[in-house]
Amino acid sequence: MNKISLIVAFFFAVTTSFAQHKSTWIWYPGDYEVWLSNDMQNRRTERGTFFPPFWKMDSHYVLVEFNKEFDLPADEEISIYAEGKYNVKINGKMLPGAPAKVQLQKGKQKINIKVYNQTNVPALYISGKNVYTDHTWKATYEDKEWIDETGKASDQSGTTYVNAGSWNFDSGAAKPSTFRLPTRPQQAVAQGRQGKGFLVDFGKNTFGYLTFQKLVGQGKLKIYYGESKEEALAADRCETLDLLDVSLKAPTDSTLELSKAFRFVYVEPEGTVRFGQVGMLYEYLPVEDRGAFRSSDQELNRIWEVAKYTMELTSREFYIDGIKRDRWIWSGDAYQSYAMNYYLGFDAETVKRTILALRGKEPTVSHINTIMDYTFYWFLSIYDYYRYTGDKEFITAIYPRMKTLMQFCLDRRNTEGLMQGLAGDWVFIDWAEGLSKQGEVSFEQLLLCRSLETMALCAHLVGQPQDNQMYQKEAAILKDKLFAYYWNKQKNAFAHSRIAGQQTENITRYTNMFAIFFDYLNQEQRAGIKSNVLLNDEVQKITTPYMRYYELEALCELGEKDYVMKELKDYWGGMLKLGATTFWEEYNPAKKGAEHYAMYGRDFGKSLCHSWGASPIYLLGKYYLGVKPIEAGYSRYEISPYLASQEWMEGKVPTPKGEIELYVSKRKIKVISPVGTGVLKFSSKTLPRVNRGQVKHVTDHHYELLLEPGLLYEVDYTDAGK
Query: Binding residues for its own copies, per CB under 8 A?
Result: 35, 38-39, 42, 46-63, 85-87, 94-98, 114, 116, 118-119, 141-152, 154, 156-159, 243, 362-363, 365-366, 370, 422-426, 431-433, 599-602, 605
Residue 679, SS3 per DSSP: strand
Q: Where are the beta strands (DSSP E) in 462-533?
A: 487-488, 493-494, 497-499, 502-503
In whole angstroms, the minimum distance from the beta carbon of 243 to its own copies comes to: 8
Residue type, 173: A
Which has the closest alpha carbon to 705: 656, 671, 660? Answer: 671
Residue pair 461/454 in contact by the 8 Å Cβ criterion: no
Q: Which helix (H) or strand (E) holds 36?
A: helix 31-41
Render 271-332 in DSSP notation, one character per residue. TT-B-S-EEEEEE--------EEEES-HHHHHHHHHHHHHHHHHBSSSB-SBTTTT----HH
CA distances from 326 to 305, 311, 320, 323, 675 (A): 24, 16, 8, 7, 39
In degrees rounded to 5, what are phi and psi of residue 197? -135, -150
Q: Among positive and negative, which fits the CA dihedral 351, 181, 301, 548?
A: positive
In whole angstroms, the minimum distance from the beta carbon of 202 to its own copies comes to: 26
Question: How many whole angstroms from its chain centre is CA 59?
Answer: 22
CA distances from 260 to 53, 152, 473, 545 (A): 17, 58, 48, 23
CA distances from 419 to 443, 475, 696 (A): 10, 13, 47
Which has the closest alpha carbon to 382: 364, 408, 403, 363? Answer: 403
First to last CA, the chain: 25
Q: What is the dihedral of CA 503, 507, 511, 513, to 10 degrees?
A: 150
Q: Which helix (H) or strand (E) holds 486?
A: helix 465-486
Question: How many whole angstroms from its chain centre is CA 413?
Answer: 28
Neighbours of 702 (CB within 10 A): 15
